[in-house]
């Protein structure tokens, strides 16, 4: 679980002011049934979600309940989604070089609101869109890996709508931007 | 109870089964438990004045996992809620305190945990003193084994008595639909099994469990309106001992004794006691500290040795004690929850029917 390694030569007479303690915990979680179906769909090049029978919001991946209406959802509430939509929000991440950080250059993560029947893909990567050009209202479509290269093994219960291993990111469709105040669910 | 307090009652309770490893997420298996507790209470979900959760992000291995658990509650539009990184019994305590203010009349407390994804023996040492105890890898089993060894050396218990506690717990758990370890076991056969960590054998240890429990509380007036059989919390108290195990007397549970006295355990006859005796030898420490007579039915559910969903197991003692009163004819029951290592912190409540 843990190992303590001196990081530099220590003067044996100096007072102890701190100690290094490196630790690691491993977790092995079973993937829940609704996410298992989501993963299978990704292998087939499809996106699925659960639509709340009351408020009609679509959750990606299918979650098993609507937290707003506190209604359980089942396979009967499953809907197939489209892989096109609009960038509803984005964050440019400037990596801080903390221990374990692998990113060195600024990168962007976008939220894509899918076209009807809806659903939100959050924390998505973009393909061929410079970080400085990303903005709300851009029309995008998913860039799928070839079927033989798809690997959904990294998608678990806590992947927050990730399609990593099946969709590399989202590229511009070439359609005109949606005005920000017309983006579905827009707060602007 | 020595302090003047408003009467609060348990008006709804529910538990999930205890699983060795559930393939549902924590919010997914919490969802029906919370819904059932609310439905049994007969309140509207949106009427609940305060919600408090108990869970542990280290168990889930996910930062802010407790926020996800709120999805099972329904938190939009925003609700008044809180969280304790403790067993759900302490969430119940906070809800009980909140109800004392008198401006709201119902509260929801729940506890949930998934112990299956991680390795408990690696996770728990991290909650100990990081300089002197954590590097030793002092996990709950090791510390409980030290406690059991001290009791054996002092002549306070025998390994056979410990096995008898385990066999009895597993036997009565046959009737508990939420139990994980249940069945008829021969004490001699149990004693023939090897030690896991001497002097503890597998039957002396709790199972590793996933699960959840939820309880709805109400003020006196509201409880009488909601329920024909409210279960009154007549007294509740919790006490804590030193964090450093070497500074404690492991042969007694002083914090349980004080909490039990302040909760009024000895004021009248006790029918049922649901005790968080997570290891077999601890049942004796707890019954001694609470001065429970032999006539008391201890852990008719099978207790923590039959189902141990960490972060819910203490609250489940409240649910089981309430069930004994509301469904099984008991009049007065004790619920006990524990936190920390080797009974470091203890909560005791006295529950009564009308």
Task: Give the ipTM of the model, two decimals please.
Answer: 0.89
> Residues, chain A, total?
188
Which residues in chain B are contacts of A2 at CB distance < 8 A?
135
Which one of B58, B62, B71 has the shortest CB-CB distance to A67? B71
The shortest C-alpha distance from B143 to chain A (Å) reads: 18
Q: Which token pair is A139?
A: 């029309």
* B77 Cα distance to chain centroid: 31
Burial tier of B132 (Cβ tally within 10 Å: 0-12, 13-18, 19+): exposed
Answer whether residue A1 shows pLDDT above 50.
Answer: no
Q: Kindly state the DSSP code that residue B330 receives in the 8-state scheme.
A: -
Residue A2 domain flag: no
Query: What is the CATH code of the structural domain delimited by B8-119+208-226?
Result: 3.40.47.10
DSSP chain A: -EE----S---TTSPP-----EE------PPPHHHHHHHHHHHTT-EEEEE-TTT--EESS--SEETTTTEE--GGGEEEE-SEEEEEEEEEE-----TT----S-EEEEEEEESTT--EEEEE-BSS--GGG--TT-EEEEEEPPGGG---TT--TTSTT--TTTEEEEEE-SPPPPPGGGSTT---
Query: Which tokens hold the place of A147?
Result: 């079927």
- How close does chain A come to B205, measured CA to CA in Å? 22
Half-sphere exposure (Cβ direction) of B49: Cα atoms closer than 13 Å = 18
**Cα–chain center distance at A130:** 19
Q: What is the CA radius of gyration of chain B?
A: 19
C-alpha B191/C-alpha B206 separation (Å) is 16
- Torsion sign (Cα): B212, B17, B47, B71: positive
Per this entry, what is the length of chain B? Answer: 354
The tens digit of pLDDT for each residue in B62-104 reads 888 999 999 999 999 999 999 999 999 999 999 999 999 999 9
Domain that holds residue A110: 28-182
The pLDDT value recorded for residue B2 is 45
pLDDT, tens digit, 9 for 90 and up, residues B253-296: 999 999 999 999 999 999 999 999 999 999 999 999 999 999 99
Task: Indicate the domain borders of chain B.
Answer: 8-119+208-226
For residue A167, the tally of other CB atoms under 10 A from its CB is 22
Other beta carbons less than 10 A from residue B269's beta carbon: 10
Which chain A residue is nearest to residue B34, measuring alpha carbons? A70
CB B265 within 8 Å of CB B350 = yes
Name the domain count of chain A.
1
Name which of B330, B328, B329, B326 is nearest B229 in CA terms: B326
- Residue A46 Cα, gap to closest chain B Cα (Å): 23
From chain B, pick out residues whose CB is under 8 angstroms from the CB of A28. Answer: 117
Q: Residues of B at the A interface (Cβ-Cβ below 8 Å)?
A: 21-25, 27-28, 31-32, 35, 45, 58, 61-62, 70-76, 114, 116-119, 122-123, 126, 130-131, 134-135, 137
- What's the mean pLDDT when you consider all of chain A? 91
* Both structure tokens of B211: 């699960």
Candidates A24, A31, A67, partner chain B, best to mutate (most B CBs within 10 A): A67
Chain A residue with Cα closest to B122: A1
Q: Which of B76, B117, B129 would you mutate first to test chain A, the one with the most A CBs within 10 A?
A: B117
Name the more confident of A146 and A181: A146
| A6 lies in some domain | no
The per-residue pLDDT string of chain B (354 residues; one tens digit each, 9 = 90 and over) reads 445 688 999 999 999 999 999 999 999 999 999 999 999 999 999 999 999 999 999 998 888 899 999 999 999 999 999 999 999 999 999 999 999 999 999 999 999 999 999 999 999 998 888 888 888 889 999 999 999 999 999 999 999 999 999 999 999 999 999 999 999 999 999 999 999 999 999 999 999 999 999 999 999 999 999 999 999 999 999 999 998 888 999 999 999 999 999 999 999 999 999 999 999 999 999 999 999 999 999 999 999 999 999 999 999 999 999 999 999 999 999 999 999 999 999 999 999 999
Measured CA to CA in angstroms, residue B314 lies from B14, B283, B310 at distances of 13, 14, 8
Please report whether residue A53 resides in a domain. Answer: yes
Classified as helix, coil or strand, B185 is: coil
Q: Is the residue at A140 inside a domain?
A: yes
Question: Are B265 and B295 within 8 A, CB to CB?
Answer: no
Cβ contacts of B18 within 8 Å, gap of 6 or more: B178, B179, B180, B207, B209, B210, B211, B306, B307, B308, B309
Q: Given pLDDT bands bounded at 50, 70 and 90, which one contains residue A42?
A: very high
Tell if the CB–CB gap between B28 and A32 is shorter than 8 Å. Answer: yes
A97 occurs within a structural domain: yes
Q: Is A7 contained in some domain? A: no
Identify the pLDDT of residue B1.
46
Test the B interface: residue of A59, A70, A75 with most B CBs within 10 Å: A70
pLDDT at A5: 55
d(Cα B333, Cα A19) in Å, to the nearest integer?
48
What is residue A3's predicted lDDT score, i.e. its pLDDT? 47
> Residue A33 and residue B23: Cβ atoms within 8 Å?
yes
């Amino acid at each position: 679980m843990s190992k303590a390694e001196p990081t530099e030569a220590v003067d044996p007479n100096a007072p102890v002011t701190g100690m290094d303690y490196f630790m690691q915990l491993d977790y092995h979680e079973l993937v829940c049934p609704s996410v298992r179906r989501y993963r299978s769909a990704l292998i087939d090049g499809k996106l699925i979600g659960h639509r709340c029978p009351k408020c009609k919001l679509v959750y990606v991946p299918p979650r098993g309940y609507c937290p707003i209406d506190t209604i359980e959802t089942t396979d009967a509430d499953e809907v197939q989604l489209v892989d096109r939509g609009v960038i509803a929000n984005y964050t440019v991440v400037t990596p801080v070089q903390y221990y374990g950080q692998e990113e060195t250059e600024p990168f962007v993560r976008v939220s894509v609101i899918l076209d009807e029947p809806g659903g939100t893909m959050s924390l998505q990567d973009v393909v061929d869109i410079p970080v400085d050009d990303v903005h709300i209202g851009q029309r995008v479509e998913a860039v799928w890996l070839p079927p033989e290269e798809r690997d959904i093994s990294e998608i678990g219960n806590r992947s927050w709508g990730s399609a990593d291993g099946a969709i590399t990111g989202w590229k511009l469709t070439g359609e005109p931007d949606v005005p920000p105040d017309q983006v579905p669910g827009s707060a602007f | 109870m020595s302090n003047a307090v408003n009467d609060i009652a348990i008006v709804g309770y529910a538990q999930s089964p205890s699983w060795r490893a559930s393939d549902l997420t924590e919010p997914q298996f919490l969802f029906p438990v919370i819904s059932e507790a609310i439905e049994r209470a007969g309140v509207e979900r949106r009427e609940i004045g305060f919600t408090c959760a108990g869970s542990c992000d280290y168990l889930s291995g996910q930062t802010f996992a407790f926020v996800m658990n709120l999805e099972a509650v329904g938190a939009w539009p925003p609700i008044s809620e809180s969280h304790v990184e403790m067993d759900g019994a302490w969430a119940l305590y906070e809800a009980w305190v909140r109800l004392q203010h008198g401006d709201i009349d119902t509260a929801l407390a729940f506890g949930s945990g998934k112990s299956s994804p991680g390795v408990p023996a690696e996770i728990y040492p991290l909650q100990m003193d990081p300089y002197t105890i954590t590097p030793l890898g002092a996990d709950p089993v090791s510390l409980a084994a030290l406690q059991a060894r001290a009791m054996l050396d002092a002549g306070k218990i025998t390994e056979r008595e410990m096995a008898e506690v385990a066999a009895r717990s597993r036997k009565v758990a046959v009737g508990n639909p939420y139990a994980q370890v249940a069945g008829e076991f021969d004490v001699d056969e149990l004693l023939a099994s090897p030690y896991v960590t001497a002097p503890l054998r597998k039957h002396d240890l709790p199972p590793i469990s996933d699960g959840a429990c939820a309880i709805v509380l109400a003020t006196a007036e509201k409880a009488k309106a909601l329920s024909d059989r409210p279960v009154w919390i007549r007294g509740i108290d919790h006490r804590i001992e030193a964090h450093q195990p070497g500074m404690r007397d492991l042969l007694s549970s002083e914090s349980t004794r004080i909490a039990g006295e302040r909760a009024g355990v000895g004021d009248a006859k006790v029918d049922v006691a649901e005790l968080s005796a997570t290891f077999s030898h601890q049942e004796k420490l707890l019954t001694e500290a609470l001065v429970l007579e032999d006539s008391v039915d201890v852990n008719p559910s099978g207790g923590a040795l039959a189902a141990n969903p960490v972060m819910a197991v203490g609250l489940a003692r409240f649910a089981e004690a309430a069930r004994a009163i509301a469904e099984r004819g008991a009049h007065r029951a004790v619920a006990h929850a524990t936190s920390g290592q080797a009974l470091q912190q203890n909560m005791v409540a006295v529950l009564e029917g009308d």
